[in-house]
Chains A and B, each alone.
Chain A
Amino acid sequence: MIKKIKASTSEKIILIFLILLGVVTIGLYIVLKNECLFVKSFDPKNINFKNPNNVAILNAPCGNVIIELYPEISPNGVERIKTLIRSNAYEDIAFHRVIKNKFIQAGDLEFGKKGILDYGKIGTGKSGLGTIKSEVDNNFNYTKGSVGLARTFKNDTEDSQFFIILQDEPLFEGEYTPVGKVLYGLEVLKKIKNHRHNEYILRPDFINSFKMLINKQ
């Protein structure tokens, strides 16, 4: 006859501890794996905008970034961005240059497209629309969330690439053409893939879509 052996109290405690440890591990794995878990994605339909004609929605891996464009500050720069947004040119374009909590750059239409990414040339590509003149004379405070047009070392070389700053950058005033400011979604931008050792990103995140709130020509 086989006698049933009852588990001692300490054995029961160890079993419970192991089960809890397993649950916590699985939970943590899910939380850590999903970097977007606690990032709020804003739905533009639920927001009232002062200037809806100048609102653009950039959809990144963790959600929407809602940007107000400032045509009164940089008419040509904003016109260029709107033209490219309306032609869906920014879709599947890489966030190719990212510095954690500081700076994000995207918009290389030539060498930054998903599937045909060229790591050797990314950041040097053109849109095919030509360059535009820098618009840096109007006062503009480059505070956190400001959006500007990227350029080469020389002025008047702005094209399709843009950047968004994640911290105040007063030295950017008068240096780069400002085109707008992030109204909602800075947390989404902070989750864009970055590397600790290099600002140019291997296997970068991509823009899912970039659209105007009101899609009129």
Chain B
Amino acid sequence: MNILRAILLLIFFITPIKANTIYNIIKIPKLEIYQINTKNKLKYFYATAPFRLGTQKNIVCSNPNKKDLEIKYKTIYKNLSRYSYNYLKKINLKYIVMCENLSISGLYTAGIPDNIMKTLILDIKFNENYFERVIHHEVFHIMYLQHKEIFNNEEWIKFNNPKFKYAECSTCTNDIGLEKYENTKGFFTEYSKSTAPEDMAEVYSHMIHLKKYEINLIRKIDPILNSKISYIEDKIKQIDNSFIF
């Protein structure tokens, strides 16, 4: 044991400090700048090696290959460019981390939002069919975390059929389909039925992703979704009155 301690101390004393500005700012290791000169001042980083995060080190993500990164960056950039600097500032989003095979406690996920560190980690290898939409889903989570006082789960639950119950948590269900229902009946996707915040994020992401006429059509035929869409619209206006869907 003493030898082990001595070795650890030796490593500590012979390892020079390396000032890593990105790590100092967002506390994620092994990142490099991809693009920082953007109109809305979002800063894009990418993983140069696999990294682990969290007190339990249960958040894991790998470094992407350059070609994938090049393609996916364009998609991410295009989608996030619709948010203004002022909007991003209000929701506390500034840094985008791009990596591959992102998981939390062994469960793969599209993104991990952290409003405190102003960071959104995105898995660039996430299902191609939903990739663009889930970017906005994760943006909503940042906003929700930043403005918890605005979003009220109890109010939201009342929009649903009284017999409906959400799952205990977003990972407590196997119903995690992201395909948009043909017949919505109050929910855009299967995953919407997991929890109220996930349902809100699904509504928000569809409001951003779908065409205006598609949303209007849904509003006409689905009164529950109509109420949910109005709720999200109202809350977003409270955060940033200038935001246009």
Chain A: residues with CB nearer than 8 A to chain B? 99, 102-103, 137, 153-154, 169-172, 174-175, 195-199
Contacts and interface: CB of A to CB of B under 8 A. Distances in A.
Contact of A103 (B12, B13, B19, B94): B19
B125 interface: no
A153 B41 contact: no
Nearest to B14: A197
B41 A174 contact: yes
Interface residues of B, number: 18
Contact of B19 (A99, A170, A196): A99
Contacts, number: 33
Contact of A171 (B15, B22, B89): B22
Interface of B: 12-17, 19, 21-22, 25, 33, 36, 41, 43, 89, 94, 116-117
B17 A171 contact: no
Contacts of A172: 21
Q: What DSSP secondary structure best describes chain A's contact surface?
A: loop
Contact of B21 (A137, A171, A196, A197): A171
A137 B190 CA distance: 41
Pairs A-B, 10 closest by C-beta atoms: A99-B19, A102-B19, A196-B16, A171-B21, A199-B17, A169-B21, A197-B13, A174-B41, A170-B36, A197-B17
Nearest to B37: A170
Most buried by B among A153, A154, A195, A199: A153
A165 to B, nearest CB: 9
Nearest to A173: B41
A197 B29 CA distance: 18
Contacts of A153: 116-117
12 contacts: A103-B19, A153-B116, A169-B21, A171-B25, A172-B21, A175-B25, A175-B94, A195-B17, A196-B17, A197-B17, A198-B17, A199-B17
A105 to B, nearest CB: 11
A196 B17 CA distance: 6
Contacts of B36: 170-171
A113 B116 CA distance: 31
Nearest to A103: B19
Given A171-B43, A174-B41, A199 B15 contact: no
Contacts of B12: 197
A124 B81 CA distance: 37
Contacts of B41: 174
A198 B116 CA distance: 26
Contacts of B14: 197
B8 to A, nearest CB: 13
